[in-house]
Structure 1
Amino acid sequence: MTSNLPQYEFMGKGKPPLKLADFKGMRVRAGGGVGTAMVRLGATKMSVPAPETYTLIARGAVDAVSFPFTYAHAAYKIDEVADWYTANLSPGTSDCPYVMNLQAYNKLPKQYQNLLNSLRGEALESLKAAYKKADDKNLPVWKKKFKEIRYDKKTLDEFKAKVGKPIQDEWVAANKDQFDAQAVLDVILNYK
C-alpha cells in the first residue's frame, strides 16, 4: 500500500520565485524528480536530510525547501523561518509505501489477509483526512503570515511542458523494460 503523499510545494526565505525564471540560481532542498525539475529551471539542488533543513534555511544556506504540502513544512518548522511559499506549483511528490514480507503475508490465515486487504481504502482515507486537517490548520495562518505564490495557468502549463513532461517521459523510458512504467505513471497522474 502506498501513502500517496501530497504534492510537494516550496517554502523559502528571501526573494520569492514569482515566475519560473526566478528559481534560476536558487539553492533548493529538493530530492528525486522534484530536484531534477528544479535543476532544469536553473536551481542548484541541495541533498539535505530533512531534520537539517530548518537550520540551513534559517542561516541562509538554502533558499527554499520542498516538502509534502503543508504538513511536512510545519513538522520540520520551516514555517517558523520562511517568508514565502508556493501554493500551486505541484512539482511532484514521492511515494512512501508500506510493505511487508510476502512470505510472511502468505503464511497468515486467510481471515487476516482479507482484513489487511479490506483496510487499504480506510487507511488511505485516514491519511487524506490527516493531510487535510494539517492544511486546514496551516493555510489560514500562512496566508496571513507569508507571501503566497500562486502561478497562473500559462505558467503551470509551461512548467509541465518544459519540465514535468520530459522528466516523466525519461522515467518511463528508463523503466519500461522492468515493468509497465507508463501504466504506473497513468495511475499516478489520474489519482484523485
Structure 2
Amino acid sequence: MQKLLTRTALATLALTIGSEAMATEWNVSLWGQRRAFTEHVERLAELVSERTNGEFTLNISYGGLSSNRENLDGISIGAFEMAQFCAGYHADKNPSITVLELPFLGVTSLEQEVALSMALYQHPAAVADLERWNATLLMPSPLPQYNLVGVGDAPTSLADFEGLTVRATGGIGAAMSTVGAVPTSMSATEVRQAMDSGVVRAVSFAPHAHMSFGTIENATWWTTNLNPGTVNCPVVVNSDALASLSDEEREVLLGAVDEALDHYVTYYNEQTMAAWGPALEERDITQVTFPEAEIAAFREAAADPAAAAWIEDNTARGLPAQELYDFVTGMIAEGN
C-alpha cells in the first residue's frame, strides 16, 4: 500500500510539474502605477488569461523590471517579453515612429490616433526600425493633445512663454521652442520633483499624466487649447518570444489587441476626461484659453519647420522619411 501511495504521489507530482512547464508566463515592464495610460495592457492581460484558462499569463510590473527609458533595451536582450515606452524618450532608437510626435498634425481623437499608429506600425520602415531591437510593435497607447500645467503667473499670450522652462519631449518641445520656451526632456517619473524644485516651471502632459504624476498639486494655471501635439508610446513584444508562442497563444494575444484598445479609449474618454475638469476646479487652477489668431500663428511657426527638419534628419539616417510623413499626413487628410 505504501509503495502504491508513493507511486501515486510521484505520478501526481509529475503531472503537476508537466502542467506548470506547459504554462506560459510573460513579464511586462511598465512604470509609475496603474492608470489610464496602462489600461489596455491590464485588459490585455485579463483577456489572454481568460481565453487560455490561465495557461498564458502576463505578469505586469510597474518599475520593477526596468526604468522607462530602458524598456526598449530590455526587450532587445530578452530581459522581459513585453514593455511600454515613449518614442520621444529616445528618438534615436526608434526614429520611424517619431513622425507621429510632430506638432500640429491635426489628429482630433483617440480613435484616430489608434488608426494612425496601427497603420504606421505595419509600415515596412517601422517594422525594420524596431527589428533592430528584436522588437515587434503590438499596439499604441493613444493620448489626446498635450497642454501645459505651470506654476507662477499664468501666461496671457504666447509671448509670455519666452524663457519659460518647460518639460516637453519630441515635437512638442520643438514647437514650444518656436515661442521662446526652453524645453527640457525628462521621463514622467522625474517631472514632479523637477517642478517642485524649480528646474521646470511648466509641464507638457496629457490630462491623465498630470493627475497621476501630481503636477496639478502645486500648479496655478493650465492651457486649455495650446494643443501642440502628443507623444507616441507603443507596447512592444520581444520578437523571439512572440515567435516561440504556440499558434493558439499567438492567436489569442494578437486577437485581444483590438478589444484591449477599445477598453482603453472608452476608459480614457469616459473616466479620465470626466475627472479632469473637477480636478482643476478643486485646486482653483486658472484655465488659460488663447485667442484663435495666436494659436494659428503658433501652428504656422511650428508645424512646417518641425516637419522639414524631421524629414531632413531622418532621411540622413537612411529612413524613407518623406514617405513616412506623407503616409501619416495623407491618412489624416482622408479623415482616417
Q: Tell me the TM-score normalised to structure 1 length.
A: 0.85
Higher RCO, Cα 8 Å, sep 6+: 1
Superposition map of 1:39-188 within 5 A? 39-67=177-205, 69-132=206-269, 133-143=271-281, 145-176=284-315, 177-179=318-320, 180-186=323-329
Deviation at 1:82? 0.2
121-130 vs 15-24, greater mean Cα deviation: 121-130
* Percent of matched pairs sharing the same residue: 31
Partner of 2:153, secondary structure, is coil
Q: What is the letter of the counterpart of residue 22 of structure 1?
A: D
Shift of the 188–19 alpha-carbon distance from structure 1 to 2, 3 Å rule, reads: farther
Q: What is the letter of the counterpart of residue 125 of structure 1?
A: D
Aligned residues: 191
Larger Rg: 2
Which residue of the partner structure matches residue 75 of structure 2? Answer: none
Partner of 1:99, secondary structure, is strand
Q: What is the letter of the counterpart of residue 182 of structure 2?
A: T
Which residue of the partner structure matches residue 155 of structure 2? Answer: 17
Which residue of the partner structure matches residue 8 of structure 1? Answer: 146
In 2, are the aligned partners of 1:6 and 1:131 still within 8 Å (CA)? no
Q: Tell me the alpha carbon deviations over residues 14-44 of structure 1, each in whole angstroms, 9 at most, x when there is no partner.
A: 1222222111111111122211211221111
Give structure 1 stretches of 5+ with no counterpart: none
Aligned Cα root-mean-square deviation (Å):
2.4
Q: What is the letter of the counterpart of residue 185 of structure 1?
A: V
In 2, are the aligned partners of 1:54 and 1:77 still within 8 Å (CA)? yes
74-83 vs 43-52, greater mean Cα deviation: 43-52
Deviation at 1:80? 0.6
1:27 aligns with 2:165: yes
Deviation at 1:54? 2.1
In 2, are the aligned partners of 1:175 and 1:181 still within 8 Å (CA)? no
Aligned equivalents of 2:173, 2:331: Cα separation in 1: 19
Aligned equivalents of 1:126, 1:83: Cα separation in 2: 33
Partner of 2:229, secondary structure, is coil
Q: What is the letter of the counterpart of residue 31 of structure 1?
A: T
